[in-house]
Amino acid sequence: MLSARDIMTTDVVTISGSATIAEAVKIMKDAGLRALIVDRRSDSDPYGIVTETDIVYKVAAFGHDPKKMRVYEIMTKPCVVVNPDLGVEYVARLFANARIRRAPVIEGKLLGIISISDILKKSDFVEKPKQLYIEDRLDVAREEARAICAEKGATSPECAAAWDVVEELQAAAADKRQEKKTVNSLEAYCAENPDAEEYRIYDD
């Protein structure tokens, strides 16, 4: 599974919470960004974020003067942060549940920012859709199959159909485990040294 680190944008710009909205807009325009991370005042201070949505919804929509309003008045702080190792599918789920579209990626320090666009453009959810919680679904399907078979009889078509579902889920779960297979040291060596003698492949 791809993780947040693999698809995040490392080009992050921070701004002080006391900067004016006009300054924030200028930075966003110049750097072509849709959000800025708000600087922490100390190591125990949480991260904040100010997005183009905040600016349009809370400043432009009311005709407030961006030169007179400050970032801290419209920012979201503390904001949801993402761990770089979190799987992309879980980032998508987190975003959907929290109704957010971007978040800073943090581990000790600010590493990058991950957005809905990064997930759409750089992740492999189209080529390899991954069902989360497949093991949990497998447990449920198994329980259901047992209940159906107890009720309708072990040779009933309903019972057979229920176990088919279990089998399909088992196959999907097995596929997923397969993907996690680690490379052995020879494979790793060969990948790094494609010209090595050990790497020669003999057909037939």
Partner 1 sequence: MMQAQEIMTKDVVTISGSATIAEAVKLMKDKGLRALIVERRSDSDPYGIVTETDIVYKVAAFGHDPKKMRVYEIMTKPCVIINPDLGVEYVARLFANTRIRRAPVVKGKLLGVISISDILNKSDFVEKPKSEFELYCEENPSALEARIYD
What stretch of H or E contains 189? helix 185-192
Choices 37-45, 130-138, 153-161, 195-203; region in contact with partner 1 by CB under 8 A: 130-138
Look up tokens 């970032």; give the residue: 71
180 contributes a contact to partner 1 by CB under 8 A: no
Site string (156-175) toward partner 1, x via CB under 8 A: --------------------
Burial 85-109 (b: 16+ CB within 10 A, else e): ebbbbbbbeebeeeebebbbbbeee
**Region for residue 110 given its phi and psi (left: phi exceeds 0; alpha: psi -120 to 50; beta: otherwise):** beta
Q: By CB under 8 A, name the one of 46, 78, 120, 177 that touches partner 1.
A: 120
What secondary structure, in 3-state letters, does 21-86 show? HHHHHHHHHHHCCCEEEECCCCCCCCCEEEEHHHHHHHCHHHCCCCCCCEHHHHCECCCCCECCCC
CB of 15 to partner 1, least distance (A): 15
Q: Say how far apart CA 17 and CA 39 lie, in whole Å.
A: 7
CB 45 to partner 1: min, Å: 27
Q: Which of the stretches 10-18, 55-63, 147-155, 188-196 binds partner 1 when contact is defined by CB under 8 A?
A: 55-63
Kindly indicate which of the ranges 6-14, 77-85, 117-125, 138-146 contains the residues binding partner 1, using the contact rule CB under 8 A: 117-125
183 binds partner 1 (CB under 8 A): no
- Residue (of 140, 26, 9, 23) closest to 82 by Cα position: 9
Residue placing its CB nearer to partner 1 in the complex, 82 or 159? 82
Among positions 56-115, residues that touch partner 1 (CB under 8 A) are 56-67, 88-89, 92-93, 95-96, 101
Tell me which of 132, 161, 174, 183 binds partner 1, using CB under 8 A. 132
Total residues contacting partner 1 by CB under 8 A comes to 41
Tokens of 50: 């100010």
| Rounded-to-integer distance, Cα 115 and Cα 35, Å | 10
Q: Contact positions toward partner 1, by CB under 8 A?
A: 21-22, 25-26, 28-29, 34, 52-53, 55-67, 88-89, 92-93, 95-96, 101, 116-117, 119-121, 123, 125-126, 129-132
